[in-house]
A = this chain, B = another copy of it.
Amino acid sequence: MVQKPAKPRGRPRGFDPADALKAASERFRTRGYAGTSLDDLVEATGLARPSLYAAFGDKRALYLAALDRTIARVGASFDTLIASDLPLRESLTAMFRFVVDGYLTGEAGPSGCIMISISAASAVDDADVRERLAAFLAIEDQRVETLLETRGDAQAAAHSRLVTAVIHSLSVRARAGAPREELDAIAQACVDLIA
């Protein structure tokens, strides 16, 4: 006779840590680190406090895990784009479309990027956050530079910093409520200038 496995302690049936981390990330992206309460995280993840603590530790550990998740996902997205056969102009256009689509999503309105517009707010005071923001910026710079370089841009280093600057600006503008057409026009101006 096969025994039914014991339900893990502190985890409700069907608990998926990846889903819970995604939901927590979304709440942090909406409200910021200090603006997100434990009650917010309980509501967003559907997990009781003991389950949250058991799975992720405290609020700060969950927040750092949310930032790490974003860093890994953004790096992987760039790698897919770099590996594609899209030429310079088309690859930049595809990248900006992906960025704008993502920045316009959000639980309570367009929410931009958690690294650029949320982690930056506590980066001065918190060295662990600051390191993650710096690591994210380095990955973004390096990946965009590689994208441009492999598409024959002779000024890949300088141009990459303007492309990432536009990405950062789009995050701020999305959170300010700028409509898609405004974000698209700024992305287009960047593509026209360098490709």
Contact A165 B193 (CB under 8 A): no
| Copies of this subunit | 2
**Interface flag for A57 (CB, 8 Å):** no
Q: Number of residues in A with C-beta < 8 Å to the partner?
A: 49
A118 in the interface, Cβ–Cβ < 8 Å? yes
Q: Is A158 an interface residue (CB 8 A)?
A: yes
**Contact across chains for B124 and A175 when beta carbons are under 8 A apart:** yes
A170 to B162, CA, bound (A): 11
Question: Among A118, A162, A194, which residue has the most Cβ atoms of chain B within 10 A?
Answer: A162
- A106 with B124: in contact, given A32-B34, A165-B169 (CB under 8 Å)? yes
Looking at A13-21, A59-67, A86-94, A108-116, the stretch in contact with chain B turns out to be: A108-116
Q: A30-B125, A158-B189, A165-B168 given. 12 additional CB < 8 A pairs?
A: A35-B121, A109-B124, A110-B124, A118-B121, A120-B172, A123-B175, A133-B175, A134-B177, A134-B178, A158-B192, A168-B169, A193-B193
